[in-house]
């Protein structure tokens, strides 16, 4: 049993039957999952969570799966929130937290979208899925696809993190590299999907990935004991996480689990690919394609996101903002977080620390506000971002004093 | 407040004050942490766990830290237990589970030992720690050391997984490679520790790492609702995990949380380095140094473990056994687990699936017994174990049918 009532277009509000397989609305915009929140409010209690496993599926009533037999899970979610006791005060923030999405199967937040998306795909009888990816989404969907017995066809830029190739390969996906960006991979997938009738799981082209990402917002609310923080910073490529977190918090308000206060949502991008930041600075509601996109924070190299208008809406509605960070700044932040806090975050996640510093300097964040950096993945998947110079000893050599 | 009463030698039973810094017993054997279990039995209830966070620190009463202010945590523990619904029945096991220690900071079970060991080191005022490592332990201790503000000096074989170098480097450890094995690294560390007075955190040379590893046993018991499984397979190098799990289960028996049934503990090693297996086959209580040790399951390349007699004792007392697996078998198992279950495990963890198959074929495990594979780390840290051949497309190319 699920509480889903229907799918609804995020632009034109046209409704679709959630028991059928749908991709985009006929107007070209993403479809959103709608629930009977009034009935959830009646039947679902915070206390129910006490007896549930520490996975994102603890929020079953707010998720779209009907039958537990279709659940495709690897124990994902309830990732830790860690206080930055040293790195926080160093940039003038006394209540800085990092939610660490590195502690999840496949090492990135992409697995949230994958567990829900693949479970629902299985429930709807999908046999083959296809997607363009900057690496991590492809790795996660291949992984959950393998567990579900669904075939995955993955196309990624040749510059995507190499380890994500290994994950796709070992889980048995059909993997292709492209001499180009994710937008090029997207066009190749679109042609193939058209030709072979595969299910297109490109960002926001199916409605269930958002529901998985949404659980980051649910967890933040629960982990802060239903008193939401003041600011959440999020590294923004396709932007599904920020869209999902906003949706989660709105749903929690509707069922009465949190009050009227909303965290200010901050989209962080790299200076080498900052279409959302540009749009926000120009007070626009949609972004423009970013030419010659390039950054070492590869996961957020998305020149034009299909859901850009939803990301911008979430920022405007929560009085948030958008910030662009230079590659050298975010790499420095990565080293600071590792050395001061023991958190080895991905470059995308590291950009948030630079952004928090910038916003604190500008006075946009106050020193005692509760601030959450949503680190989207583990640094383990990006070994090339670390400089290692290490002496080689022979067995009889001695080491100098530390 | 802690329930620790004292430290006790695992061989000669000599007692030591747990408020002092100790390494080995003067007889050369490892020291074990002893608790006032009678008082824990009185004061600690299973129901208390319901309100606690899903980290290994939920078992506070059975851990050695006195003051929460010394806690050095990154949210580790309560790793998922996943049923192998496809890969299990394929080898004739209807209740095969994998406990996935890849879903933890730094991606391996070594972080359990590190969070407890480093927290207690901080509590005891340690400023510099030193260790030889096959890579993952060094990465974990550097990580937690960084968070604690404790300096780490790490020596690892040059063949250790490369990503572990990056972790040591980015967290600010003093890292050295050695042209040799972990036993060579151990000698270098021993000389340096002697000279500089650093705290030696080599396997079992300080008493608190076992306490961290012990939590794997506590979690297995809790996650199976205090009905322990029939068999637990464990990839065995230094063997601290198996020693810890056995200690945990004995303590749970003493406080009355589990009954008399003990899982049969199985030590799994690689054919290229199997000193424990050899000793068990010869019914000995200690192992001999394994010459020319070599296996792709690098983490278990330990030619002679300091705690070998404790590992063998745990196997004998639980009617367990020891099994050696060839490298090509475990690499095949790694691919099977990824493709059938979506679990990308490390080579050490993969060896357990081969071992389970072997023991099932021999009839040593029955088809309906509950069997747990304790996967010690994520495959993400071993990209070189995956063969990837992937076609490169140009943006205008098309992909063939799946």
pLDDT tens, position by position, A96-144 = 999 999 999 999 999 999 999 999 999 999 999 999 999 999 999 999 9
Query: Which residues partner with B270 through β-bridges?
Result: B273, B325
Cross-chain residue pair B397–A343, CB shorter than 8 Å: no
> Which H or E run contains A373?
strand A371-375
- What residues in A contact B176, CB-CB < 8 Å? 390-393, 399
**In the predicted structure, residue A41 carries a pLDDT above the cut 80:** yes
CA distance A96 to B312: 47
pLDDT for the residue numbered A402: 73
B-contacting residues of A 317-336, CB under 8 Å? 334-335
Q: What is the mean pLDDT of chain B?
A: 97
DSSP H helical ranges for A59-105: 87-90
CA distance B333 to A275: 45
Give φ, ψ of A220 to 5 degrees: -60, -45
Cross-chain residue pair B380–A145, CB shorter than 8 Å: no
**In the predicted structure, residue B220 carries a pLDDT above the cut 90:** yes
Interface residue A363 vs chain B (CB under 8 A): no
Neighbours of B325 (CB within 10 A): 27
Q: How far is A159 from chain B (nearest CA, A)?
A: 11
DSSP three-state, residue B60? helix
Interface residue B79 vs chain A (CB under 8 A): yes
Neighbours of B42 (CB within 10 A): 10
pLDDT tens digits for range B146-204: 999 999 999 999 999 999 999 999 999 999 999 999 999 999 999 999 999 999 999 99
> Which H or E run contains B392?
strand B392-393
> Which H or E run contains B331?
helix B327-341
| Residue with tokens 């670390």, as numbered in its chain | A386
Cross-chain residue pair A169–B73, CB shorter than 8 Å: no
pLDDT tier for residue A213 given thresholds of 50, 70 and 90: very high
Long-range interactions of A81-87: CB distance < 8 A, separation 24+: A81/A220, A81/A223, A81/A224, A81/A372, A81/B75, A82/A341, A82/A343, A82/B73, A82/B74, A82/B75, A84/A337, A84/A340, A84/A341, A84/A343, A84/A373, A85/A341, A86/A340, A86/A341, A86/B149, A87/A336, A87/A337, A87/A340, A87/A341, A87/A353
Neighbours of A23 (CB within 10 A): 15
pLDDT tens digits for range B243-262: 999 999 999 999 999 999 99
Cross-chain residue pair B50–A54, CB shorter than 8 Å: no
Interface residue A55 vs chain B (CB under 8 A): yes
CB of A16 closer than 8 Å to CB of A172: no
**In the predicted structure, residue A350 carries a pLDDT above the cut 90:** yes
* Tokens standing for residue A166: 């290994």
**In the predicted structure, residue B389 carries a pLDDT above the cut 90:** no
Alpha-carbon dihedral angle through residues A124, A129, A132, A134, given to the nearest 10 degrees: 80
> Which H or E run contains B115?
helix B110-123
Neighbours of B195 (CB within 10 A): 12
pLDDT tier for residue A401 given thresholds of 50, 70 and 90: confident
* Tokens standing for residue B18: 């747990």
Query: Which residues partner with B374 through β-bridges?
Result: B99
> Which H or E run contains A324?
strand A321-325
For the segment B222-236, the average pLDDT, to the nearest whole number, is 98
CB of A43 closer than 8 Å to CB of A13: no
* Tokens standing for residue B184: 């060579």
Nearest to B166 among A80, A339, A388 (CB): A388
Interface residue B383 vs chain A (CB under 8 A): yes
Q: How far is CA A372 from CA A224, A237, A344, in A?
A: 11, 18, 16
CA distance A284 to A315: 12
Q: What is the mean pLDDT of chain A?
A: 97
Provide the percentage of residues in chain A whose pLDDT is more than 70. Answer: 100
Tell how strand B231-235 and strand B199-200 pair up: unpaired
**DSSP assignment of B234-281:** EE-SS-HHHHHHHHHHHHHHHTTSS-S--PEEEEEEETTB-HHHHHHH
Q: How far is A1 from chain B (nearest CA, A)?
A: 23
CA distance B173 to B142: 6
* Tokens standing for residue A352: 């948030």
Nearest to A343 among B74, B166, B178 (CB): B74
Scored b (16 or more CB within 10 A) or e, B57-76 reads bbbbbbbbbbeeebbbbbbb
* Tokens standing for residue B273: 């380095």
Interface residue B380 vs chain A (CB under 8 A): yes
pLDDT for the residue numbered A378: 98
Provide the percentage of residues in chain B whose pLDDT is more than 70. Answer: 100
Look at the alpha carbons of A44, A48, A52, A56 in this order and tell me if their dihedral is positive or negative. positive
Scored b (16 or more CB within 10 A) or e, B254-263 reads ebebbeeebb
CA distance A273 to A284: 17
**DSSP assignment of A156-192:** EETTS-HHHHHHHHHTT-EEEEESS-HHHHHHHHHHH
Interface residue A48 vs chain B (CB under 8 A): no
Provide the percentage of residues in chain B whose pLDDT is more than 90. Answer: 96
Q: How far is B178 from chain A (nearest CA, A)?
A: 5
- What residues in B contact A105, CB-CB < 8 Å? 100, 102-103, 342-343
pLDDT for the residue numbered B83: 98
* Tokens standing for residue B332: 């095949």
| Residue with tokens 């939803």, as numbered in its chain | A310
Task: State the count of interchain CB pairs (< 8 A) between A and B.
Answer: 245
A-contacting residues of B 193-232, CB under 8 Å? 195-196, 198
Closest residue in B to A78 (Cα) is B54
B-contacting residues of A 233-252, CB under 8 Å? none
> Which H or E run contains B219?
helix B209-223
CA distance B178 to B191: 14
Cross-chain residue pair B145–A342, CB shorter than 8 Å: yes
Tell how strand A231-235 and strand A371-375 pair up: parallel
Burial label for B294, CB within 10 Å (0-12, 13-18, 19+), is middle
- What residues in A contact B338, CB-CB < 8 Å? 143, 146, 170-172
| Residue ranges with strand state E in A36-181 | 81-83, 96-100, 128-132, 151-157, 174-178
pLDDT tier for residue A389 given thresholds of 50, 70 and 90: confident
Interface test with B, best of A47, A98, A342, A400 (most B CBs within 10 A): A342
**DSSP assignment of B333-388:** HHHHHHHHH---B-HHHHHHHHHHHHHHHTTSS-TTS-EEEEE-BBGGG-GGGS--
**B81-107+209-380: CATH class:** alpha beta
**In the predicted structure, residue B17 carries a pLDDT above the cut 90:** yes
pLDDT for the residue numbered A128: 98
CA distance A65 to A124: 10
pLDDT for the residue numbered A219: 98
> Which H or E run contains A37?
helix A37-43
Rounded to 10°, the helix A327-341/B136-148 angle is 90
Interface residue B69 vs chain A (CB under 8 A): no
Neighbours of A140 (CB within 10 A): 33
Rounded to 10°, the helix A110-123/A136-148 angle is 40
Burial label for B284, CB within 10 Å (0-12, 13-18, 19+), is middle
Cross-chain residue pair A165–B388, CB shorter than 8 Å: yes
pLDDT tier for residue A320 given thresholds of 50, 70 and 90: very high
pLDDT tier for residue B400 given thresholds of 50, 70 and 90: confident
Interface residue B175 vs chain A (CB under 8 A): yes
Nearest to B16 by CA among B30, B24, B6: B6
**In the predicted structure, residue B102 carries a pLDDT above the cut 80:** yes
Interface residue A184 vs chain B (CB under 8 A): yes
Give φ, ψ of A379 to 5 degrees: -65, -20
Q: How far is B282 from chain A (nearest CA, A)?
A: 32
Cross-chain residue pair A198–B343, CB shorter than 8 Å: no
Nearest to B144 by CA among B176, B106, B185, B190: B106
Closest residue in A to B333 (Cα) is A170
Interface residue B65 vs chain A (CB under 8 A): no
CA distance B305 to A123: 49
| Residue with tokens 């030696």, as numbered in its chain | B200
Cross-chain residue pair A170–B397, CB shorter than 8 Å: no
Q: For chain B, which residues make up each domain, given as ranges?
A: 81-107+209-380
- What residues in A contact B345, CB-CB < 8 Å? none
pLDDT for the residue numbered A400: 87
For the domain spanning A81-107+209-381, the CATH number is 3.40.50.1100
pLDDT for the residue numbered B402: 72
- What residues in A contact B334, CB-CB < 8 Å? 170
CB of A247 closer than 8 Å to CB of A30: no
Q: How far is A130 from chain B (nearest CA, A)?
A: 10
Cross-chain residue pair B105–A166, CB shorter than 8 Å: no
CA distance B253 to B263: 12
Q: Which residues contact B137 (CB under 8 A, 6 or more apart)?
A: B110, B113, B114, B131, B203
Q: How far is B341 from chain A (nearest CA, A)?
A: 4
Closest residue in A to B195 (Cα) is A401
Provide the percentage of residues in chain A whose pLDDT is more than 90. Answer: 96
């Amino acid at each position: 049993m699920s509480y889903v009532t229907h799918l609804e277009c995020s632009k034109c509000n046209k409704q679709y039957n959630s028991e059928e397989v749908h991709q985009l609305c006929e107007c070209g915009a993403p479809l959103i999952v709608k629930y009977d929140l009034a009935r959830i409010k009646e039947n679902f209690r915070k206390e129910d969570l006490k007896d549930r496993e520490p996975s994102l599926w603890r929020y079953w009533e707010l998720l779209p799966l009907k039958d537990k037999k279709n659940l495709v899970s690897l124990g994902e979610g309830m990732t830790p929130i860690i206080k930055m006791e040293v790195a926080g005060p160093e940039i003038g923030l006394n209540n800085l937290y990092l939610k660490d999405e590195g502690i999840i199967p496949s090492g990135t937040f992409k697995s949230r979208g994958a567990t829900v998306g693949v479970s629902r795909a299985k429930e709807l009888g999908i046999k083959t899925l296809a997607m363009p990816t900057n690496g991590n989404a492809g790795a996660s969907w291949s992984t959950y696809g393998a567990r579900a017995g669904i075939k995955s066809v993955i196309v990624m830029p040749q510059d995507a993190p190499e380890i994500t190739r290994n994950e796709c390969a070992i889980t048995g996906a059909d993997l292709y590299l492209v001499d180009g960006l994710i937008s090029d991979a997207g066009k190749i997938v679109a042609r193939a999907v058209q030709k072979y009738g595969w299910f297109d799981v490109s960002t926001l082209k199916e409605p269930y990935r958002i529901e998985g990402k949404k659980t980051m917002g649910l967890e933040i609310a629960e982990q802060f004991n239903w008193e939401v923080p003041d600011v959440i910073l999020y590294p923004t490529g396709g932007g599904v996480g920020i869209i999902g977190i906003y949706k989660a918090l709105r749903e929690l308000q509707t069922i009465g689990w949190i009050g009227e206060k909303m965290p200010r949502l901050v989209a962080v991008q790299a200076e080498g690919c900052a279409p959302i930041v540009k749009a926000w600075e120009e007070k626009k509601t949609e972004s423009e394609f970013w030419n010659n996109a390039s950054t070492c924070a590869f996961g957020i190299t998305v020149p034009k996101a299909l859901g850009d208008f939803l990301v911008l809406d979430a920022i405007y509605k929560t009085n948030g903002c958008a910030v662009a960070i230079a590659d050298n700044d975010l790499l420095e932040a990565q080293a600071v977080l590792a050395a001061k806090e023991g958190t080895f975050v991905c470059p995308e996640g590291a950009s948030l620390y630079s952004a928090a510093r910038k916003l604190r300097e500008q006075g946009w964040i106050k020193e005692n506000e509760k601030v959450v950096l949503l680190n989207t993945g583990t640094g383990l998947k990006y070994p090339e971002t670390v400089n290692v110079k290490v002496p080689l000893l022979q067995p009889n050599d001695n080491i100098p004093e530390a």
